[in-house]
Chains A and B, each alone.
Chain A
Amino acid sequence: MSPTLSLFYFLSFLTVLSALMVVFARSPIHSVLYLILTFFCLSGHYILLNAQFLAAVNIIVYAGAIMVLFLFVIMFLNMKKEDEESKTNLTKVAAVIVAGTLGVILVGAFRKSQVGTYNPYAHDSQVGMVESLGHMLFREYLLPFELISILFLVAMTGAIMLGKREVGERHF
């Protein structure tokens, strides 16, 4: 087995393991920390694919920004042991149905999808660098890029609507 391949298997093992730990950890804080570990492993995969920009962005955006938000929400919401009323049998059944449907859809999608092939001799190893990525994004995918800014605008207004202060809240 070549070193790259063994590294790939090791990383995959670590990724799956930490992803499983996200689900099985009892405390949500531990789940978040395992999720961060999962993102690191994914970045390792990106580096193995020589997609360095994606690896960095994955860490900055997912591990550095979105997970911070998750941690904020989980840490600073009122999470006492008493309010566990959300774990009735009905919710469990509903959760199993939803997750099962999602699983079926994913498996179906994977079966239908066609894996792109490439010629290893003509393949440019530098295609994942930021230069070629930027060229692609700002020449061929210009419209989606500009539409993203509108998406951001919607997200901003949505966040402000959600964060409206209600009367009689207790916090500090």
Chain B
Amino acid sequence: MNTTYLPSDFLPIVVQFGLAAGFIVLTMIVTHRIGPSRKSKMKDDPFECGIEVKGDARTPISVKYFLVAILFVLFDVEVIFMYPWAVNFQNLGMLGFIEMLVFMALLLSGFYYIIRKGVLEWEQ
């Protein structure tokens, strides 16, 4: 349709955001108001299938999850670099394709190293 994109195109997002936020706030207030509220010591405890609660849930977790998050950041940035390339792919032609192949080869060698190092082994 239009080929010139302008910042004012984004105005309707404000409407959508307002609608969504209004709906959420209203629902939250209504459900908070009309529900009953009965407190007791046992009920306020975290639910652990009836077993007595020991400590709280502020505990360190496996380093694997952090590694997954770090790798995600790296790969996400790589994917972001691919978008401008993919959009221009037919203009860039053969040279662009080779450029990206080199880029992906380096990425895949890193990926291979990660797999060989056993970072993504979840069994152990």
Q: Could you tell me which A residues sit within 8 Å of B by CB distance?
A: 4, 47-50, 52-53, 57, 60-61, 64-66, 68-69, 72-73, 76-80, 125-126, 129-131, 133-135, 137-139, 142, 145-146, 148-150, 152-153, 155-157, 159-160, 163, 165, 169-172
Closest to B67 in A: A163
User: Mind listing 30 A-B residue pairs with CB under 8 Å?
Assistant: A60-B80, A61-B73, A68-B69, A68-B73, A69-B66, A69-B70, A69-B72, A72-B65, A78-B58, A79-B58, A125-B4, A126-B4, A130-B83, A131-B87, A134-B84, A135-B91, A137-B85, A138-B96, A145-B81, A146-B102, A149-B107, A152-B106, A156-B110, A163-B63, A163-B66, A163-B119, A165-B63, A169-B63, A171-B60, A172-B62
Main secondary structure of the interface of A (DSSP, over half): helix
Write out the residue numbers on chain A whose beta carbons fall within 8 Å of the beta carbon of B94: none
For A124, the closest partner residue in chain B by CB is: B4
Q: Which of B28-58 contact A (CB under 8 A)?
A: 58
- B10 nearest CB neighbor, chain A only: A47
By CB atoms of chain A within 10 A, which of B7, B71, B103, B114 has the most? B7
> Are B87 and A152 in contact (CB-based, < 8 A)?
no
A-B contact count (CB 8 A): 139
> Nearest Cβ distance between residue B14 and chain A, in whole angstroms?
10
- Which one, B5, B92, B110, contacts A52 given CB within 8 A? B5
Task: Contact check, A65 vs B87: say whether CB atoms are below 8 A apart.
Answer: no
Decide if B107 touches A130 in the complex (CB within 8 Å).
Answer: no
Contacts of A137 in B (CB 8 A): 81, 84-85
Distance of A138 Cα from B99 Cα, bound (Å): 8
Give B87 Cβ to nearest chain A Cβ, in Å.
5
Chain B residues lying within 8 Å of A134, measured Cβ to Cβ, are 83-85, 87-88, 92
Chain B 100-124 interface residues, beta-carbon cutoff 8 Å to A: 102-103, 106-107, 109-111, 113-114, 117, 119
- Count chain B residues whose beta carbon lies closer than 8 angstroms to a beta carbon of A: 46
* Chain A residues in 8 Å Cβ range of B85: 134, 137-138
17 new A-B contacts at CB < 8 Å, known A72-B66, A137-B84, A160-B119? A4-B7, A50-B6, A66-B73, A69-B70, A131-B84, A134-B83, A134-B85, A135-B91, A138-B99, A142-B99, A145-B81, A150-B106, A156-B74, A165-B63, A169-B63, A171-B61, A172-B62
Q: Which residues of B contact A47 (CB under 8 A)?
A: 7, 10
B69 touching A160, Cβ below 8 Å = no
